[in-house]
Amino acid sequence: MSDFHGIIFAYGAESELGALVGRRTSSSLPFCGRYRLIDFALSSLANAGVNNVGVIMQQDYQSLLDHLGSGKDWDMNRRHGGLRMLPPFGLPEYHTGNYLGTIEALNAVSTYINDIPQSHVILMHGNVAANIDLDAAIQQHLSTGSDITAVCTRVAPSPSGPHFVAGTDGFAKELLFDRASGGTGVASLETYIISKHLLLEMMEQCKKTNRLHFHRDAMMSYLDDGGKIGIFMHEGYAKAITTVEGYYSANMDMLDAKNRASMFPAGRPVRTKNAEEVSTYYGEDAFSSNSLVADGCIIEGSIRNCILFSAVHVEEGAELEGCIIMKDGVIGKNVKLNAVITDKNVSISDSTTLSGSPKMPYVVPKDASL
């Protein structure tokens, strides 16, 4: 889609993710044994033919830069356009502190948005696990003549997220908040297709009145003034990752074949940084049940309902149940782990026992040795 430009918000690191975002943003969190969360937004855009994308960053983005590189793995390494990293280079008043809202983040890169040659912008968040059919959403947006189309889902992807209530004409008539479960309306995935002209108007108006939030400020004002917001329904899996519990449950959801089919359909592949590894080795006494195991691992112990990233070593006698072990993890002999998340390059010494729960997983920080 040559007339569409993607903007991904990748600056946030929710405090409730704790040690998992100690040195990275939420968007660069490893997911499902191979991917980073931002891969889903990038892949959704690439699968719809949107190859000009800006990624808004602010701090702790080295991990994100290492992963995205030139954008080659998403076919976005272009001489003109392609993938662009956007640190806060906007107006001076936006240089201090954390962004308090997406409108503030957009105004911080306003010079970039002003120079976008395309007439439509697709706004997405990099911490949402969802494979969205943006091609279908774009076609609906164009056919209805909407200035804004909101991508929504029937199941709230995050706590207290915005909900849209549709009128008889199919357009949104009301925007609600704090409706995480039940009640009227459909939950926003905070993915929007919007005309560049309207987006710049919203940004300028909010800047003049010192307002910072896209939904409570810009979208509410637009609706109150009689603006039309189309609703496109995403029927597949979707979850915004904002807490440790949410991160754990989203990964565990991928052990279900139905959820995997929704997230990784053949027609909309999820692309990620290419990293070739040797095949995983299973020892003579190894046991694996209902687990996702990346390449390059050595499994000599027992794993049940686990997700293992590349180059993980589970030594003899170790027993893992419901665990997420990130890259280069070493699990020693006779270790017992239950509902544990280990970040990258973690080493667990022999005969250690650690136990969490699905509601409160035990998190071991990056580079730790226990």
Q: Judging by beta carbons within 10 Å of its beta carbon (0-12, 13-18, 19+), is residue 190 exposed, middle or buried?
A: buried
CB count, 10 Å around CB of 311?
A: 21
Query: What is the DSSP secondary structure assignment for residue 289, as one 8-state letter?
Result: E
For residue 93, is pLDDT > 60?
no
**CA 78 to CA 270: how far, in whole Å?**
20
Question: In this predicted model, what pLDDT tens digit does every residue of 199-245 receive, in sequence order?
Answer: 999 999 988 888 878 888 888 889 888 888 999 999 999 999 999 99
Q: For residues 209 and 221, is the Cβ–Cβ distance under 8 A?
A: no
Number of Cβ within a 10 Å radius of residue 291: 18
Of 110, 141, 105, 106, nearest in space to 3 by CA: 141
Residue boundaries of the structural domains of the chain: 4-263, 281-364
Q: What is the mean pLDDT of residues 21-38?
A: 93
Residue 79 neighbours by CB distance under 10 Å: 5
pTM reported for the whole predicted model: 0.93
Instruction: Note the pLDDT of residue 45.
Output: 96
Structure token digits, residue 93? 């008043």
What class does CATH assign to 281-364? mainly beta
Judged against a pLDDT cut of 50, whether residue 91 lies above it is answered with no
pLDDT value at residue 181: 53
Q: Are 125 and 41 in contact (CB under 8 A)?
A: yes
- Across 63-67, 175-179, 304-308, least confident range: 175-179
pLDDT, averaged across the chain: 90
Amino acid of residue 136: A
Q: Which architecture, in CATH terms, is 4-263?
A: Alpha-Beta Complex (3.90)
Q: How far apart are CA 201 and CA 14, in angstroms?
A: 29
- Per-residue pLDDT for 308 more than 90? yes
**Residue matched to tokens 């804004």:** 148
Q: What is the DSSP string of 223-266?
A: HHTT--EEEEE--S--EE--SHHHHHHHHHHTTSHHHHHHHS-T
Size of the chain, expressed as the number of residues it contains: 370
Nearest to 38 by CA among 128, 99, 121: 128
Percentage of the chain exceeding pLDDT 70: 94
Name the residue with higher pLDDT: 313 or 228: 313
Distance (Å, whole) CA 102 – CA 249: 26
CA-based radius of gyration for the chain: 21
Cβ-based neighbour number of residue 178 at 10 Å: 10
Q: Choose the weakest-confidence range: 20-24, 41-45, 132-136.
A: 20-24
The model's pLDDT over 111-133, given as tens digits with 9 standing for 90+, comes to 999 999 999 999 999 999 999 99
Q: For the chain, what is the largest distance between any 2 Cα atoms, rounded to a whole number of angstroms?
A: 69
Orientation angle between helical segments 134-144 and 38-47, nearest 10 degrees: 60
Beta partners for residue 21, in sequence order: none
Question: Which residue type does 44 have?
Answer: S
Predicted local confidence at residue 246, as pLDDT:
94
pLDDT of residue 27: 94
What pLDDT digit, counting tens, does each position of 31-73 carry?
Answer: 999 999 999 999 999 999 999 999 998 877 888 889 988 888 8
- Using the predicted structure, report yes or no on whether residue 180 has a pLDDT greater than 70: no
* Residue 95 confidence (pLDDT): 47
Q: Is the pLDDT of residue 179 over 80?
A: no
